[in-house]
Structure 1
């Protein structure tokens, strides 16, 4: 079924919303974990967001679902939210929000490799393989493992955790493409947030992360950041992305993958006084170039967009979120 062509102003407004909202979620997560345990914060965030979306759908008569849909979307939500967003929230305790955004910008590298390894997956071209090496070069330059002890060296554990989060997100994204879910995009997102949020809270309890939660010690700025993540990062950002996927070409909707890291770095510099060094600028250029090459190559077949840290892709739509 064809969709009416939207006004140019509507497309520009939607793209601007995605660029700013999803680019700012790294900063919001960084502020939220200042006084909230990371896994407890992430789990509560997605449980609340998923509950709000599910209740809204139910009130409008769209709450019908099956056990199979719950199982598939809970698995996807666990991979994306526990393995992806949960690990990112932990890493933000040790890394600047802009650096985390840049590291996640190389997520398509892992998506390409996962898609290649998946049964019936697509083999990357030589150009794509070259772009993979370029992306890893950008990460190496950013993390500077050869400068141990230098003041500019990043927290090595934080860097590795963010890269692991990219792997989990890639597996969850490719799995969602093959899942036989008949749920609507909005219902898929609600189920993924509920299932994934519950998994994150379970890990928070098992690791003692939840025991460190002191509601009375949570600062006003952390509460505001948390509210922003629930209402703006998840509900507004996700709704806008769904609209874009239905009304714009996938390649256009995927441009947020290039813009979000730049927005995150600038906001971290403006609001949190996070430094922008020459190393950061060079790494940003390398990583974004790598992502652009990979996504362009994928677009010749079927486009796989990279993950977004703050919002879950529906099980029945391919993607960064």
Structure 2
């Protein structure tokens, strides 16, 4: 056997799933877990809905341009319409409301509240005849108990508007995810690019109606946080997610739903000095156990 047959080239090593899957998963866990803290830093200068609008406009344009250069087809008129609806629900309603809530709620608590999204998704799926099984119902009840207890805790009880915004964000993301499965959406990553572009328009309209304006002299740290959200939070992490989604089982690909909240809490405590007490950790555990039961039941059913 020749040396060339025995030695792996750098390119083959770089594309080897044995290396790329763990690297991609780690990227998703750390980057998406840290975006909640990134939002908090960016909010020091940028208003919430305009922050999200800038983030998805730049990320959407960059991703769309790369995909077009690689030969991806343009979405049809129907696909653009559906992408606009889903993008408005997921990114404008989901991410925009998270940005709004983080003005008064810590990044770690925000991540825990958003982790309730699969609970609402299981309920909305019933609208299309996919009613939860007995095991999923147990997970739903447990998860919603965690959501209620979380809203009674110090992290959200002092900010009723922030609590409503976070629950609204989870519901918007859940309904958009369920509704999109029944629609004609753009193919592959073009779906995300189209949603980002459309959501940036919706977010700009919301920002103008909310009276938001670009800061005259934004802090350097806030602009750096915005750049981090654009490059890493919207492009790098999502690219890693797409790779994992087509390479491994869905249960592993979506495991970020369990890992992101603890990561967000750790970042908030270590970097921003946020306080998380034992009761907050217990509430987070209740929600994540409920989400875990639902996910396991759905994976077994599939």
- Range 231-240 or range 133-142, more displaced: 133-142
Name the residue aligned to 2:163.
159
State how many pairs are aligned.
288
* C-alpha RMSD of matched pairs (Å): 1.7
Further displaced range: 53-62 or 186-195: 53-62
- Aligned equivalents of 1:139, 1:151: Cα separation in 2: 12
Shift of 1:8: 2.5
* Structure with the largest fraction of helix: 2
Name 2:5's counterpart in structure 1. none
Which residue number in structure 2 is paired with residue 49 of structure 1?
59
**Distance in 2 between residues matched to 1:215 and 1:253, nearest whole Å:** 41
Q: Give, in whole Å, the separation in 2 of the partners of 1:245 and 1:153.
A: 37
Note the C-alpha offset of 1:32: 0.8
> 1:15-164 maps to which residues of 2 (within 5 A)?
15-118=25-128, 121-144=129-152, 153-164=157-168
Question: How do residues 1-321 of structure 1 correspond to structure 2 at under 5 angstroms?
Answer: 7-118=17-128, 121-144=129-152, 153-181=157-185, 183-209=186-212, 211=213, 213-216=214-217, 218-302=218-302
Tell me the distance in 2 between the aligned counterparts of 1:151 and 1:61.
47
Cα deviation code 1:264-307 (max 9, x no counterpart): 000000111000201111111111111111111111234xxxxx
CA contact (8 A) 2:150 2:156 kept: no
Decide which structure has the larger Cα Rg and report it: 2
Q: C-alpha deviations, 1:116-138, integer Å up to 9, x for none?
A: 112xx311012211221211221
Report the Cα distance in structure 1 between the residues aligned to 2:279 and 2:120, rounded to whole angstroms.
23
Q: Deviations over 1:44-88 (max 9, x none)?
A: 110111001111112222243321221111111011111111111
Note if contact 1:33-1:222 (Cα within 8 Å) is conserved in structure 2: yes
Mapped partners of 1:28, 1:262: distance in 2: 15
Counterpart CA distance in 1 for 2:216 and 2:68 is: 31
TM-score by length of 2: 0.91
3-state SS in 2 of match to 1:39: helix
Q: CA deviation at 1:6?
A: 5.0
Whole-Å separation in 2 of the counterparts to 1:48 and 1:63: 20
For 2:76 and 2:116, how far apart are their aligned partners in 1? 35
Classify 1:152/1:61 alpha carbon distance in 2 versus 1 (closer, same or farther; 3 Å): closer
Q: CA deviation at 1:167?
A: 0.9
Counterpart secondary structure, 2:239: helix
Q: SS of the counterpart of 1:215? A: coil
Distance across 1 between alignment mates of 2:156 and 2:172: 28
Q: C-alpha displacement at 1:14, in angstroms?
A: 1.1
How far, CA to CA, are the matches of 1:228 and 1:153 in structure 2? 30
Q: Give unmatched runs, 5+ long, in structure 2.
A: 1-14
